Amino acid sequence: MMWYWGGGVHWWGWLLGALGMVAFWGLVVWAIWYLVTALARPQHGQRAGDAKMILDERLARGEIDVAEYQRLRDLLAGNDVGSTGPQPPVGTGGGPSW
């Protein structure tokens, strides 16, 4: 009777197989996690709406008054109409002085 003497997988083959299986399933779990979190993330177009919603909530809670609300709303919209920033004094090179 002849016994099996060679050609089998040694301990390092089993180790590589186990590590490969762990790496494969880790990659599958990571891919699923990445897809789920990517779908839950807000998109670029939603950020302005979020800021407007926060501004509305602050007005409703009474944290800001109507004038401040309108100023911040215009700032979010890109309108700089009500800007009260520093203005140059009259006649100091801000325009033609005749």
Buried b (16+ CB within 10 A) or exposed e, 11-41: eeeeeeeeeeeeeeeeeeeeeeeeeeeeeee
Lowest mean pLDDT across 14-18, 35-39, 77-81: 77-81
Whether the pLDDT of residue 45 is over 60: the answer is no
The answer to whether the CB of 32 falls within 8 A of the CB of 53 is no
The pLDDT of residue 41 is 79
Q: Using 50, 70 and 90 to split pLDDT, how confident is the model at 1?
A: low
The pLDDT of residue 85 is 54
- Where exactly are the structural domains of the chain? 44-77
Q: Using 50, 70 and 90 to split pLDDT, how confident is the model at 58?
A: very high
The pLDDT of residue 70 is 93
The answer to whether the CB of 55 falls within 8 A of the CB of 73 is yes
